[in-house]
Amino acid sequence: MSADNELIERSHRHPASFAELYDRHATAVHRYAAQRLGEHSADDIMSETFLVAFEKRESYDASIVDARPWLLGIATRLMRKHVRLEARAWKGMVAGLAAQVAPDVIERAGSRLDAARLTKRLASAFRSLSAVDRDTLLLYAWADLDYAAIAAALEVPVGTVRSRLNRARRLMRDAAAVASASTDREIDHGRTDSAAQQA
């Protein structure tokens, strides 16, 4: 089986060979777009991604074997054009988003934490991320790219990816901590009220 860079190189002479790149990566691009924008928009983003990739294949860096970061970078830039659509999609994905972006926070909180409040807090924090921080976090969490692949997808240095992910994680942790502290205060307040009623 040919590597991605070989397929792209071959497609300069035989355009039909680009179809193998589509077969190899269409599912990953579609899944990433569907998680961000919903199934209906994912079809359009996936199709447009491969159209743009085909048109720009001459500029592909042939030294890079795996084309998936390049394709997901194109998809991410295309999705920025759908900001209003994505904002609407976030409203309907609050619970699923929190579970996928920060499942460890929810698990650690256990029964003490009001999961609905945490979900709302995390979704709000997620929406407040800058577009570039959100893109970076989602390429890491949903597209399963490592730092170097995210850097390639977004055409930024690896250090920029690290700082964006650190900033996004800190914001999400802070939101989870605020929700946890609020729940603890309510539990303590409930105990105080109960003790006062018993006295």
Which one, of 105, 168, 99, lies nearest residue 136 by Cα? 168
pLDDT at 25: 96
The reported pLDDT for the residue numbered 22 is 96
Range list of H helices, 56-199: 68-80, 83-92, 94-101, 103-109, 115-128, 131-141, 147-154, 158-198
d(CA 173, CA 170): 5
The b/e string for 95-119 (b: 16+ C-beta within 10 A; e otherwise) is eebbeebbeebbeebeeebbbeebb
Please give the pLDDT value at position 92: 57
Considering the domain 93-199 in this protein, what is its CATH number? 1.10.10.10
Q: Which fold has domain 1-92?
A: Rna Polymerase Sigma Factor; Chain: A (1.10.1740)
What per-residue confidence (pLDDT) applies to 81?
79
- pLDDT of 94 reads 53
In the chain, which stretches have pLDDT less than 70?
Answer: 83-116, 179-199
Listed in order, the ranges of the chain carrying CATH 1.10.10.10 are: 93-199
